[in-house]
Structure 1
Amino acid sequence: MKLTGLTAVVALCAGAAFAEPIAPGDVQYSEYGAVEASLSGAAGDPENGAAIMVNRGKGNCVACHAVTALSDAPFHGEVGPTLDGVGGYRSAEELRGIVANAKMTFEGSVMPAFYKTSGFIRPGDGYTGKAAKEEDLTPILTAQEVEDVVAFLMTLQDG
């Protein structure tokens, strides 16, 4: 009996370690845009999340949001609200939904959907006159990168 129980625990842990990320099209949003399940199945890394937030080729969150904890990064924006203290008044599930696709929480938001691959309006190629391709795009952030950003945002407890 002990061996069977131990085998079951090892199998469950191994399954969690190799869990497939939730595909962008399969993300389940609550009525108010929260995403309950981790997109990657792994805990986020707050240090990597901070790096993504200031990376101009990735999240670039500071282009629109001021974040005192990231004051070493230049040119914080004022388009979006300051994120100071956001981990104290938003849950990880709410933040995950906002980062994945803010329009599910804030209709009409200009914030990009960082974990979305389809449903975009594309004007086509103005230089060649060819219509836009209808294939899915690559998400801006991976499932793990979304989790990393959420982990960093959850560290912002004081505002």
Structure 2
Amino acid sequence: MSGTHLRLAMLLCLWASTGTAQTLSDAEQGLRIMANRQQGNCVTCHQVSVLRDAKGIDGAAGKQGDFGPSLDGVATRYNATQLRQWVMDARLLKPNTLMPPFGTLEGTTQANPARPMLTPEEIDKVTAALATLR
């Protein structure tokens, strides 16, 4: 595990034990969103080592999928703008993707509730987290 991943894992564990969200960076909050089954839920389809190793993070350990590609090293393959687009609406980068659009309802049907899955602020935090995965 790299130093950045170890630091993030330690801070996530600290947050889980204290419940003080004010001390978390955008990237750390983004990792929590990625593991949260009610928000990003990225780990249903993707492997994220830093989350797999984080103790006390709901949805992170032992429940990661392999349907989509591993997100480890994703920041070495894409810049921040591209990472944000993958989260917002991956169909614009890969038209036949099965990845749901997290930031738009355009081209979707029967969304319930009728709003994007993530807010622009949450997408910023997930993008910040993805940018740390080198």
Q: Same fold (TM over 0.5)?
A: yes
Q: Distance in 2 between matches of 1:89 and 1:117?
A: 27
Q: Distance in 1 between matches of 2:77 and 2:89?
A: 19
User: Cα RMSD over matched residues?
Assistant: 2.0
Q: What is the Cα deviation at residue 137 of structure 1?
A: 2.0
Write out per-residue CA displacement over residues 20-52 of structure 1, whole angstroms, 9 at most, x where no aligned residue.
xxxxxxxxxxxxxxxxxxxxxxxx810110000
8 Å contact kept, 1:118–1:137: no
Which of residues 96, 101, 116 is equivalent to 2:89? 101
2:47 counterpart SS class = coil
Write out per-residue CA displacement over residues 113-136 of structure 1, whole angstroms, 9 at most, x where no aligned residue.
0000233234xxxxxxxxx99xx9
Q: Distance in 1 between matches of 2:99 and 2:66?
A: 12
Q: What is the Cα deviation at residue 145 of structure 1?
A: 0.4
Q: What is the Cα deviation at residue 85 of structure 1?
A: 0.6
2:51 aligned with 1:61, yes or no?
A: no
Partner of 1:84: 72
Write out per-residue CA displacement over residues 63-90 of structure 1, whole angstroms, 9 at most, x where no aligned residue.
0000101113131101100000111121
Q: Distance in 1 between matches of 2:80 and 2:106?
A: 24
> Which runs of no fewer than 5 residues in structure 1 stay unpaired?
1-43, 123-131
Could you tell me the percent identity over the aligned residues? 41
One-letter amino acid of the counterpart of residue 116, structure 1: T
8 Å contact kept, 1:99–1:146: yes
Greater helix share, 1 or 2? 2
Which of residues 30, 51, 61 is equivalent to 1:49? 30
Which contiguous aligned blocks of 4+ residues in structure 1 show a shift greater than 4 angstroms?
Answer: none
TM-score by length of structure 2 reads: 0.71
Larger Rg: 1
> Which runs of no fewer than 5 residues in structure 2 stay unpaired?
1-24, 55-59
Partner of 1:121: 109
Q: Distance in 2 between matches of 1:118 and 1:156?
A: 29
One-letter amino acid of the counterpart of residue 81, structure 1: P
2:125 aligned with 1:152, yes or no?
A: no
Write out per-residue CA displacement over residues 85-128 of structure 1, whole angstroms, 9 at most, x where no aligned residue.
11112100001001000101111111110000233234xxxxxx
